[in-house]
Amino acid sequence: MAVKNFVPPRRLLLGPGPSMLHPRVLRALSTPLLGHLDPAFLAIMDEIQTLLRFVFQTENRFTIAVSGTGSAGMEASIVNIVEPGDAVIVGVNGVFGTRWASIVERCGGKAIRVEAPWGQIVEPDAIRQALRQSGPVKAVAVVQAETSTGVWQPLEPISHLCREHDTLFLVDAVTSLGGAPVDVDRWNIDVCYSATQKCLSCPPGLSPFTLSDRALAAIKARRTSCQSWYLDMALIADYWAEGTRAYHHTAPISMLYALREALRLVEEEGLPARFVRHQRNSEALIAGLTELGLPPLPPIGHRLPTLTCVTIPSHIPESEIRASLLSTYGIEIGGGLGPLKGKVWRIGLMGESSTEAHVLTLLNALETLFILGGWLSTPGIALQAASRVYSRRV
Ligand SMILES: *Cc1c(COP(=O)(O)O)cnc(C)c1O
Of residues 365, 389, 386, 388, the one with CA closest to residue 376: 365
Ligand 1: distance of its center to the CA of 380 in Å? 35
Q: Is the C-beta atom of 17 inside 6 A of ligand 1?
A: yes
Span 23-267: which CATH code?
Answer: 3.40.640.10
**Fold observed for domain 270-391:** Aspartate Aminotransferase, domain 1 (3.90.1150)
Q: What is the pLDDT along the chain (394 residues), one digit of tens a residue?
A: 799 999 999 999 999 999 999 999 999 999 999 999 999 999 999 999 999 999 999 999 999 999 999 999 999 999 999 999 999 999 999 999 999 999 999 999 999 999 999 999 999 999 999 999 999 999 999 999 999 999 999 999 999 999 999 999 999 999 999 999 999 999 999 999 999 999 999 999 999 999 999 999 999 999 999 999 999 999 999 888 877 888 999 999 999 999 999 999 999 999 999 999 999 999 999 999 999 999 999 999 999 999 999 999 999 999 999 999 999 999 999 999 999 999 999 999 999 999 999 999 999 999 999 999 999 999 999 999 999 999 997 6
Cβ neighbours around 7 below 10 Å, total: 6
Of residues 205, 136, 139, 143, the one with CA closest to residue 174: 143
Ligand 1 atom closest to the CA of 147, numbered from 1:
15
Separation in Å, CA 155 to CA 152, 268, 374: 9, 27, 43
Ligand 1: distance of its center to the CA of 71 in Å? 6
Choose the residue to mutate in 67, 147, 192 for probing ligand 1, maximizing ligand atoms within 8 Å of C-beta: 147
Q: Is the C-beta atom of 69 inside 6 A of ligand 1?
A: yes
Q: Is the C-beta atom of 151 inside 6 A of ligand 1?
A: no
Domain boundaries, the chain: 23-267, 270-391
Cβ neighbours around 37 below 10 Å, total: 13
Contacts with 125 (C-beta within 8 Å, 6 or more apart), sequence order: none
**143: part of which helix (H) or strand (E)?**
strand 139-143
Cβ neighbours around 40 below 10 Å, total: 8
Report the distance separating Cα 63 and Cα 236, nearest Å.
11
Report the distance separating Cα 344 and Cα 294, nearest Å.
9
Q: Is the C-beta atom of 174 inside 6 A of ligand 1?
A: yes
Give the 3-state secondary structure of residue 211.
strand
**115: part of which helix (H) or strand (E)?**
strand 110-115
